Homo-oligomer: A and B are copies of this chain.
Amino acid sequence: MDTQKIIRDSYPSSEKVYVPGKLFPIRVGMRKINLTDTVTIENGKRVHTPNAPVYVYDTSGPYTDPMVEVDINRGLPRLRESWIADRGDVEQLDDITSQYGRARRDDPALESIRFKHTPLPYKAKPGHSITQMYYARQGIITAEMEYVAIRENLMNEQLGIKSHITPEFVRDEVAAGRAIIPANINHPEAEPMIIGRNFLVKLNTNIGNSALSSGIEEEVDKAVWSCHWGGDTLMDLSTGDHIHETREWIIRNCPVPMGTVPIYQALEKVNGKVEDLTWEIYRDTLIEQCEQGVDYFTIHAGVLKAHADLVGERLTGIVSRGGSIMTKWCVIHNQESFLYTHFDEICEILKQYDVAISLGDGMRPGSIHDANDRSQFLELDVLGELTEKAWAHDVQVIIEGPGHIPMHKIKENMDRQLSSCHGAPFYTLGPLTTDIAPGYDHITSAIGAAQIAWLGTAMICYVTPKEHLGLPDREDVRNGVIAYKIAAHAADLAKGFPGAQVRDDAMSKARYEFRWKDQFNLALDPDRALEYYKQGSFHDGNYCTMCGPNFCAMRLSQDITKCVETE
């Protein structure tokens, strides 16, 4: 794979800096945006006043560190491997456990598309618990916890605010189940991050091929760019060919936690025949993916046989792929879902790798009409029951939420989720606030996502402009990620995080002082801002094409301040 085609440098005037840990020998990467001076004329002389750099949360990983030579064919440095080893409670296996995984490794036909440097997997030593939740409940602060505390604190530090977000606070939140740190021991390339409503709002991006499109290189490219634009986690939802190999390439090159929906691959293994799905095939798929390094699994274990009868009440039935697969299985076999009946066994497997569970909302509404209906909330109660089961195993849990919800029904979703699911973090897809704008569902849903995140949703799953129409390409990923960065940041501001406004204030000051380059560099998408600016006639004056020289309010406003001051 051509690394140079995929990776890119940091944005202009930005540099990667690292803040060292105090408890552990860790260093937390962040992006430092250097600003130009404010220039004023005083007594006929130009006076330069420096502007402090702005440090921002950085999900781009080693790709933007010029000291690290990234080679997509070898994968990223294994940042957390020594942290994990130092805890002394895991062992490296002699071989991969999954039958299917071994078969793929040994199939000569896959040689040309196989990632060549797959390491042997790690697993908890017998009798050991190794999840972040387990440690937290034991009162142990891990390197991962200190890492996220530093990362989350970044903006407060710039204001000199003593934040409550300490490693101890992180430990408390994880122990209580109010936050998770998705961190499979087999994905040590990922930089730790935390998902919880007392932390910055996070966003997930979905990538993945389908039977009709997209190859491995394109998916790796989307993954790397998703991180570059600001995606906090990403899910590989591939359903086409070579799911196993695609995932391997992505995980080895992915600096953020990565999730999947294992039932998709299980279904591919039985050639799309829902009736042929078995617990054994699913179980082997879980182990296969645990050992590859997937950090969290969407598991639609709350979709029960009894729910099938309710589908007919809806305008759009079941729109969750996992939910519809499991419902069909239940109906065909007239049996309860094996995800539900084997849930304890699932937890037993996942805890050995510290894979978190994202309890899927198989009954999420797919239309405004079906919002907040009986099916949806019945399932939510089941998810609450499963949350407690997972916690009994020290398995970390987040809860997936809708979907299509009109604005006045959003709050009920948040309220019910908090009470039904005992405070576990909520992770919603949008919600889309109307059904009538295909081609613009990044916007219909950013409106809903900003609101539900403000109300307490910990992570929002992006929707791209292609939703309902086709698979996203790289440009769609970009538009989806930025729309959701906006929604997440708007929610952080509304939640009153003290440091959240640092970047807004720096941007606004740059705007008022006509420091154009600083405006681009401080923007969520510097390339786009610059591109649009250049489409107007380019110049360096104290105005832009929007208003022209005579009508620039900010220039006039500066005149006024000068007038008032010299009066």
Interface residues in chain A, defined as those with a beta carbon under 8 Å from any beta carbon in chain B: 210-213, 239-240, 264, 267-268, 272, 274, 308-309, 311-312, 315-321, 323-325, 327-328, 331-332, 366-370, 404, 406-408, 433-440, 442-444, 446-447, 450-451, 454, 465-471, 473, 482-483, 485-487, 489-491, 493-496, 501, 503-505, 507-509, 511-512, 519-520, 522-525, 528-529, 531-533, 535-537, 544-554, 556-561, 563-565, 567
A407 in contact with B557 (CB, 8 Å): no
Q: Which residues of B contact A264 (CB under 8 A)?
A: 551
Give the one of A368, A443, A501, A531 with max B CB within 10 A: A443
> CA of A532 to CA of B483 in the docked complex: distance in angstroms?
18
- The minimal Cβ–Cβ distance linking A367 to chain B, given in whole angstroms, is 3
> CA of A297 to CA of B493 in the docked complex: distance in angstroms?
34
Closest B residue to A488 using CB positions: B434
A213 in contact with B536 (CB, 8 Å): yes
> CA of A561 to CA of B307 in the docked complex: distance in angstroms?
11
B212 in contact with A564 (CB, 8 Å): no
- The minimal Cβ–Cβ distance linking A267 to chain B, given in whole angstroms, is 6
A367 in contact with B308 (CB, 8 Å): no
> CA of A482 to CA of B442 in the docked complex: distance in angstroms?
12
Also in contact, A444 and B486, with CB within 8 A (given A319-B553, A505-B369, A508-B366): yes
A438 in contact with B523 (CB, 8 Å): yes
User: Which 10 pairs from chain A and chain B are nearest by CB?
Assistant: A317-B557, A470-B536, A272-B550, A367-B508, A324-B556, A211-B548, A407-B494, A210-B548, A439-B528, A433-B490
16 other contacts beyond A436-B522, A465-B532, with CB at 8 A cut-off? A240-B548, A311-B561, A317-B553, A317-B558, A318-B554, A328-B560, A367-B512, A407-B451, A408-B493, A433-B486, A434-B486, A439-B532, A443-B443, A444-B490, A447-B451, A470-B533
